[in-house]
């Protein structure tokens, strides 16, 4: 196992205009979308101009934030340069939080990437148009390893990895560490945390203890397997927005505080000095949107 050879970057290493935070896991069904939506909301709530890009063709984040796909948002058109990312951004109704909605064509994103020059760097290049507008760009990623996920790993400053306490989930973390080490991405900040935890189960307790000993970078905050969190997709709103004083909201606030501290996420006060604090950053992109309604 090559995880021990990974060199995790210090917060001082992240000095570019926007932090790109990918919420990802090779394995599905681990709480990626729930985590992405709640963390993006809390990033915006903390004062950061935040954009959540839903890269999963199933559109879980888009659904949870009541967004709708844009008719011109296909992966093929995006990669061909026929439409620019700023044209597709939606305001969510939450201050400082915008959404790039998913499109069903994203299921073929990897196929379209393979047909382009420099296919592993396309996502990073596409994100450049957003860097002077946002403090944080969240990527809600589909499961699996593909050309799209390799693009995500190359573009991201930090990987937030939800882990269910199961042997297969921990095996995935080993595989991810090995892949990052093999590619030489020593400046990529890896931020795993336990999700869907049931402390009443002895197996969960044993696996968590074992994993923390093996992977000291695992965040201290654990997200429990609570129905209150599952109901988020019924309410179609972030937990801290609908129940800000609930135990679930406090858990996500603690998780975001850890992630923000590790990755040195802070609002760019000077960049937003002339912007209404309640305004979505999508309004700042209006001139680039060819008159489209914001």
Question: Read out DSSP for 238-280?
Answer: -HHHH-TTSHHHHHHHHHHHHHHHHHT----TTTTTTS-TTS-
Q: Is residue 63 part of a domain?
A: yes
Question: Which are the contacts of 85, defined by CB distance < 8 A and separation ≥ 6?
Answer: 53, 78, 100, 126, 127, 129, 130
Q: Is residue 280 part of a domain?
A: no
DSSP state of 120: G
Question: Which are the contacts of 66, defined by CB distance < 8 A and separation ≥ 6?
Answer: 92, 93, 236, 237
119 or 173, higher pLDDT = 173
DSSP state of 10: P
Q: Is residue 246 part of a domain?
A: yes
Domain that holds residue 165: 11-273
- Dist. CA 44–CA 94, nearest whole Å: 8
pLDDT band at 105 (very low <50, low <70, confident <90, very high): confident
Q: Is residue 283 part of a domain?
A: no
Task: Supply the pLDDT for residue 169.
Answer: 86
Question: What CATH number is attached to the domain comprising 25?
Answer: 3.40.50.300
Could you tell me if 191 and 217 are in contact, meaning their C-beta atoms sit under 8 angstroms apart?
yes
Q: pLDDT above 70 covers what percent of the chain?
A: 78
Q: Which residues is 23 bridged to in the sheet?
A: 140, 160
- The model carries a pTM of 0.83
Q: What is the DSSP annotation of 139-158?
A: EEPPSS-SHHHHHHHHH-SE
Q: What is the mean pLDDT of the chain?
A: 80
- Dist. CA 267–CA 130, nearest whole Å: 15
Q: Is residue 284 part of a domain?
A: no
Q: Is residue 1 part of a domain?
A: no
pLDDT at 14 over 70: no
pLDDT at 252 over 50: yes
pLDDT band at 81 (very low <50, low <70, confident <90, very high): low
Q: Is residue 170 part of a domain?
A: yes
Q: Is residue 262 part of a domain?
A: yes
Could you tell me if 76 and 105 are in contact, meaning their C-beta atoms sit under 8 angstroms apart?
yes
Number of domains in the chain: 1
């Amino acid at each position: 196992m090559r995880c021990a050879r990974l060199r995790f970057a210090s917060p001082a290493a992240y000095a570019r205009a926007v932090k790109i935070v990918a919420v990802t896991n090779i394995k599905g069904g681990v709480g990626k979308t729930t985590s992405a939506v709640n963390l993006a909301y809390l990033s915006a709530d903390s004062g950061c101009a935040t954009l959540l890009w839903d890269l999963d063709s199933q559109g879980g984040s888009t659904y949870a934030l009541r967004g709708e796909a844009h008719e011109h948002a296909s992966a093929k058109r995006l990669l061909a340069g026929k439409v620019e990312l700023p044209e597709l951004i939606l305001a969510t109704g939450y201050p400082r939080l915008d959404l790039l909605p998913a499109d069903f064509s994203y299921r073929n994103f990897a196929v379209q990437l393979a047909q382009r020059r420099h296919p592993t760097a396309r996502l990073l290049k596409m994100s450049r148009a957003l860097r002077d507008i946002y403090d944080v760009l969240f990527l809600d990623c589909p499961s699996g390893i593909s050309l799209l996920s390799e693009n995500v790993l190359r573009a991201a400053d930090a990987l937030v990895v939800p882990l269910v306490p199961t042997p297969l989930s921990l095996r995935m973390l080993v595989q991810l560490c090995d892949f990052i080490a093999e590619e030489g991405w020593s400046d990529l900040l890896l931020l795993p945390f336990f999700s869907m935890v049931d402390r009443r189960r002895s197996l969960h307790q044993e696996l968590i203890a074992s994993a923390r000993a093996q992977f000291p970078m695992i965040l201290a905050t654990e997200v429990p397997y609570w129905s209150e969190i599952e109901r988020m997709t019924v309410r179609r709103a972030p937990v801290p927005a609908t129940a800000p004083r609930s135990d679930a909201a406090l858990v996500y606030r603690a998780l975001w505080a850890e992630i923000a501290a590790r990755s040195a996420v802070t609002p760019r006060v000077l960049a937003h000095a002339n912007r209404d604090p309640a305004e979505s950053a999508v309004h700042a992109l209006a001139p680039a949107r060819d008159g489209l309604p914001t």
